[in-house]
Structure 1
Amino acid sequence: MTDSRRSSISSIKSDVKSDIESPELPLDQKHFGNTLDQKAQAQSKEQPSEETPSTIPNGGLVAWLQVLSGFMCFMSAWGMVNGFGVFQDFYSSTLIPDVSNSDISWIGSIQAFLLCSATVFAGPIYDHGHPRLLVMFGSVLVVFGMMMTSLCSEYWQLMLAQGLCVGFGAGCLFLPSIAIIPSYFTTKKAVAMGIAASGSSFGGVIFPIIFRRLEPRIGFGWATRAIGFISLTSLLIPCFCIKARAFPKTRRKLLDFAAFKEPAYALFSLASFVGFVGLYVPFFYISTYAKDVSGLEDTLSFYMLPIMSAGSIAGRIIPGLVADKVGALNVLGVCNLCASILGFCWIAIHHTAGGLIVWALLYGALSGAFVSLQPTTVASIT
């Protein structure tokens, strides 16, 4: 056999072998395969992978920026509710004295109701990947509502501006702040949520003091606008820094009641609903009660509300530290029981200023856990 014939046979064998190992596809099949690969890559980018403890950072600059963003959202959302007592006292004594205290309290009650109920509609928007849009929209409503409140002189105007507008905007701020933080933490989840939730107590301290100090000097309108400008400045941080790590792969409907089919979640939701009915009664009435019933001087009776909110700061953070060790539900149950007992003790201490101060601090601390531990508790029982 000649050398040329041997080389041709060898080349034929190598061609056959290469065809068997990597068969050549037609052009249309190649294009189809490439298209499928591109679609698969695009879908993998659109849908985040499943969250596991190993993929959650549990700290870092970005994670703690989310806590700071949540703190600012809580300050302008729940802080307005915590500090409503100073408006309650001013409205009943100066702005609209002909309206009863119970009617005036409906402004704060509607505000708190919308803060919680607006999350029903904000939830699906968050699931569709728009947490920053919610924060921006809520910021506009809260600031706009406070600016409009500064122009109000009638009861119905206050209800629309401070009750409805601020309340709905606060709900849009509230949901992203509690939904994002758990995706950044594992072992520090409860304490991170507690630090963020302490923003509401911080707002409950500074907003009444600001209003009290400014109103005699510059009037109701500009004192209220000052609070609005503080909210505007603080809410710029979450508007730029808030960033969700992952969204649910299955997007739910605007109104989806499937979660209530789970008994533990449904029972906890009912218990939370009942708890919120009476939670903020002391925050609304403590200043008026101290002045009209306990007979305390005007300055001391006013500071009862900031004192209660100051106690609530510790009540947001310390239970979170304990909850990471012994369980959020256990800590929440004990704090709620003690706060309920304190509610009945209120009537026994109305004649002593020292007793009322201690009671305000304790109730603020114990009731603070009711808000800060709820997201962590839901995650642990569902």
Structure 2
Amino acid sequence: MTTTSTTSTALELGNNHRNEQQQRTTTTTTTTTTTIQLRGALAAPDSSSDSDDLDPILEASRIADSTVPDGGHGWVVICACAVVSFWLTGVNYSWGVMQSALVDAGLGSPSALSFAGSIPATLISVMAMPNARIVRRLGARWTAVAGISVIGLAQILSGFCVTAASLPGLYVTAGVMLGVGMSLCFTVCSVTPAQWFKRRRGLANGLVFAGGGLGGAIITIVEGLLIQRFGAAWAYRVMGLATLATGLPAAVFIKERSAVAVVGTIEWRLFRDVRFSLMFVAGAIATFPLLVPAFFLPLYSSSLGLSAGTGAALLAGFNFSSAVGRILCGLLSDKAGPINTMFGCLLVSSLGMLVLWPTSTTVGPLAVFAVLNGAANGGFFSTIPTVVGNVFGSARVVVALGMIVTGWAGGYLMGAPIAGYILDAYGGQEGGLHAYRPAMFYAGSLAFAAAVLVAAMRLRMNVPLLGKV
């Protein structure tokens, strides 16, 4: 019996183009069982956790990745996604400044307002899988347009809720509405770069999410100035109008390179892959502490006796470092591997919250903590899409990423509020610096646990300890 053998793809084994061409045309007289080895870039599911059959989605990903332009019009799409990310992430990361102003105005306690600030990020997780269907039905462009429109409108309406001193209304506008818009934009910005880039995928994702870090820095400064001059209500309205004026034109330039058919919104078989399960749990744990510094730096600086302007500047430094960290970690992902990079980010984040932040009693060490933790925080978020696309296939990134992000709901919803409850239990802002330390240790311990799980996932990749993965 004459059969044509399946092409054996072995990335990083140094096969030259000529040998690959010969392999594609080899004919044998026996049935040949060939394993597709996709190291680092497209690792096949472990035989212990998946069937031995060829994963058709991984194969589709390999074919799609072989034709990506790695540039050209892709850079226009990346720039447009970065502008959308500027608003989707920046508005959320600047919440600490608005929260501090609303606490001073007596609108609510730190824990109650932290809960309001956690709702948008939570909805990013809750809506992750439904958004996969929305993107496939509307397309990336119109999904982004809808998301930006809702973000802008939510901020404008939040201004009226502040004027009316309505905390429940703020939950609806600055919480639920803002979260719906952010979730739509997050899905678009997370899955679109993989269609345009392969070799530079880490850099592309880093640039997109760096827009969010830069947005957090700029919005924090501008919002702080607006609050001081016009009050929180008008700060909300001005930022909402600015979102619509700049975000909508950018969203129009977002374009899908190709639409990959996706059946359903969840692929349960992925949980049979131990690596996916470890990634899912690590992400679920990591999101509990990641927003704690962004939400509590202004409050902590106030307890140190620093001015509100200094607190806003520290948060701006945190967000600017987040932008730089996203780009640097994107480059590092392409050089050292996204899983290695993600592990490093979580380790730095955990050590910062366990060691540096609790001992920061003056503005100098606190600024160092803000810079280091901001960079690590941003790096974590920018490496997630690259890890998912490289390990589990770019053709399934919408579904796989949606499943992983869904697991972040608990951390996004309760991570910062738990820190707020711990702070209140130990005396609140009036309790002195020691009242903050239990919350810091809570956040740092969870970040370290997530780093351990990512390390376990990395060991499952069957790549040398110092290898790129």
TM-score using structure 1 length: 0.82
Question: Kindly tell me: are residues 258 and 53 of structure 1, through their superposed partners in 2, closer, same or farther at Cα, counting changes over 3 Å?
Answer: closer
- Is the 2:84–2:251 contact (alpha carbons within 8 Å) kept by the matching residues of 1? no
Match of 1:154 in 2: 166
Q: Secondary structure at the match of 1:363?
A: helix
Match of 2:143 in 1: 134
AA aligned opposite 1:55:
T
Q: Secondary structure at the match of 2:192?
A: helix
The CA distance in 2 between the partners of 1:127 and 1:334, in whole Å, is: 34
The CA distance in 2 between the partners of 1:74 and 1:302, in whole Å, is: 21
- Is the 2:210–2:323 contact (alpha carbons within 8 Å) kept by the matching residues of 1? yes
Query: Is the aligned partner of 1:222 residue 2:231?
Result: no
**Quick check: which has more Rg, 1 or 2?**
1
Deviation at 1:117, TM superposition (A): 2.5
Correspondences of 1:73-92 after superposition (within 5 Å): 73-92=84-103
Match of 2:78 in 1: 67
- Is the 1:56–1:185 contact (alpha carbons within 8 Å) kept by the matching residues of 2? yes
AA aligned opposite 2:101:
F
The CA distance in 2 between the partners of 1:95 and 1:227, in whole Å, is: 22
Match of 1:164 in 2: 176
The CA distance in 2 between the partners of 1:341 and 1:50, in whole Å, is: 38
The CA distance in 2 between the partners of 1:286 and 1:137, in whole Å, is: 32
Match of 1:305 in 2: 315
Deviation at 1:372, TM superposition (A): 0.3
- 1:290 pairs, out of 279, 291, 301, with 301
AA aligned opposite 2:283:
S
The CA distance in 2 between the partners of 1:265 and 1:188, in whole Å, is: 23
Deviation at 1:350, TM superposition (A): 3.0
AA aligned opposite 1:350:
S
Question: Kindly tell me: are residues 120 and 74 of structure 1, through their superposed partners in 2, closer, same or farther at Cα, counting changes over 3 Å?
Answer: same
Deviation at 1:129, TM superposition (A): 5.6
Query: Is the aligned partner of 1:201 residue 2:230?
Result: no
Deviation at 1:238, TM superposition (A): 3.5
Question: Kindly tell me: are residues 188 and 49 of structure 1, through their superposed partners in 2, closer, same or farther at Cα, counting changes over 3 Å?
Answer: closer
- Is the 1:74–1:199 contact (alpha carbons within 8 Å) kept by the matching residues of 2? yes
Give per-residue Cα distances to partners, 1:303-347, cap 9 Å, x unaligned: 111011111111100111111011100011011111111111244
Query: Is the aligned partner of 1:358 residue 2:348?
Result: no
AA aligned opposite 1:325:
K
- Is the 1:135–1:238 contact (alpha carbons within 8 Å) kept by the matching residues of 2? no
- Is the 2:333–2:341 contact (alpha carbons within 8 Å) kept by the matching residues of 1? yes
The CA distance in 2 between the partners of 1:58 and 1:331, in whole Å, is: 21
Deviation at 1:300, TM superposition (A): 1.4
Tell me the C-alpha RMSD between the 2 structures. 1.9
Q: Secondary structure at the match of 1:170?
A: helix
Match of 2:466 in 1: none
Deviation at 1:51, TM superposition (A): 4.1
Give per-residue Cα distances to partners, 1:229-270, cap 9 Å, x unaligned: 221122123331111011223x32245544434332222021
Deviation at 1:177, TM superposition (A): 1.1
The CA distance in 1 between the partners of 2:195 and 2:266, in whole Å, is: 23
User: What number of residue pairs does the alignment pair up?
Assistant: 330
Query: Is the aligned partner of 1:325 residue 2:331?
Result: no
Match of 1:28 in 2: none
Question: Kindly tell me: are residues 139 and 297 of structure 1, through their superposed partners in 2, closer, same or farther at Cα, counting changes over 3 Å?
Answer: closer
- Is the 2:145–2:252 contact (alpha carbons within 8 Å) kept by the matching residues of 1? no
Question: Kindly tell me: are residues 194 and 208 of structure 1, through their superposed partners in 2, closer, same or farther at Cα, counting changes over 3 Å?
Answer: same
Deviation at 1:118, TM superposition (A): 1.8
Match of 2:431 in 1: none
Question: Kindly tell me: are residues 233 and 280 of structure 1, through their superposed partners in 2, closer, same or farther at Cα, counting changes over 3 Å?
Answer: same
AA aligned opposite 2:248:
L
Match of 1:337 in 2: 347
The CA distance in 2 between the partners of 1:346 and 1:318, in whole Å, is: 22
Question: Kindly tell me: are residues 95 and 135 of structure 1, through their superposed partners in 2, closer, same or farther at Cα, counting changes over 3 Å?
Answer: farther
Structure 1 unaligned segments of length 5 or more: list them: 1-47
The CA distance in 1 between the partners of 2:251 and 2:88, in whole Å, is: 14
- Is the 1:205–1:310 contact (alpha carbons within 8 Å) kept by the matching residues of 2? yes
Structure 2 unaligned segments of length 5 or more: list them: 1-59, 393-469
The CA distance in 2 between the partners of 1:213 and 1:219, in whole Å, is: 9
Correspondences of 1:105-144 after superposition (within 5 Å): 105-128=114-137, 130-144=139-153
Deviation at 1:133, TM superposition (A): 2.4
The CA distance in 1 between the partners of 2:270 and 2:136, in whole Å, is: 15
AA aligned opposite 1:125:
I
Give per-residue Cα distances to partners, 1:77-108, cap 9 Å, x unaligned: 11111111011101111151xx2211110011
The CA distance in 2 between the partners of 1:314 and 1:168, in whole Å, is: 27
Deviation at 1:348, TM superposition (A): 3.4
The CA distance in 2 between the partners of 1:207 and 1:325, in whole Å, is: 32
AA aligned opposite 2:333:
A
Question: Kindly tell me: are residues 49 and 271 of structure 1, through their superposed partners in 2, closer, same or farther at Cα, counting changes over 3 Å?
Answer: closer
Deviation larger for 161-170 or 131-140: 131-140
- 2:263 pairs, out of 252, 270, 278, with 252
AA aligned opposite 1:170:
M
The percent identity for this pair of structures is 26
The CA distance in 2 between the partners of 1:173 and 1:306, in whole Å, is: 22
The CA distance in 1 between the partners of 2:106 and 2:80, in whole Å, is: 34
Match of 1:264 in 2: 275
Match of 2:39 in 1: none
The CA distance in 2 between the partners of 1:168 and 1:372, in whole Å, is: 21
The CA distance in 1 between the partners of 2:269 and 2:137, in whole Å, is: 18
Deviation at 1:288, TM superposition (A): 0.7
Q: Secondary structure at the match of 2:70?
A: coil
The CA distance in 1 between the partners of 2:106 and 2:236, in whole Å, is: 13
AA aligned opposite 1:89:
S
Deviation at 1:50, TM superposition (A): 7.8
Question: Kindly tell me: are residues 204 and 49 of structure 1, through their superposed partners in 2, closer, same or farther at Cα, counting changes over 3 Å?
Answer: closer
- Is the 1:79–1:201 contact (alpha carbons within 8 Å) kept by the matching residues of 2? yes
Match of 1:237 in 2: 249
Match of 1:25 in 2: none
- Is the 1:71–1:196 contact (alpha carbons within 8 Å) kept by the matching residues of 2? yes
Match of 1:22 in 2: none
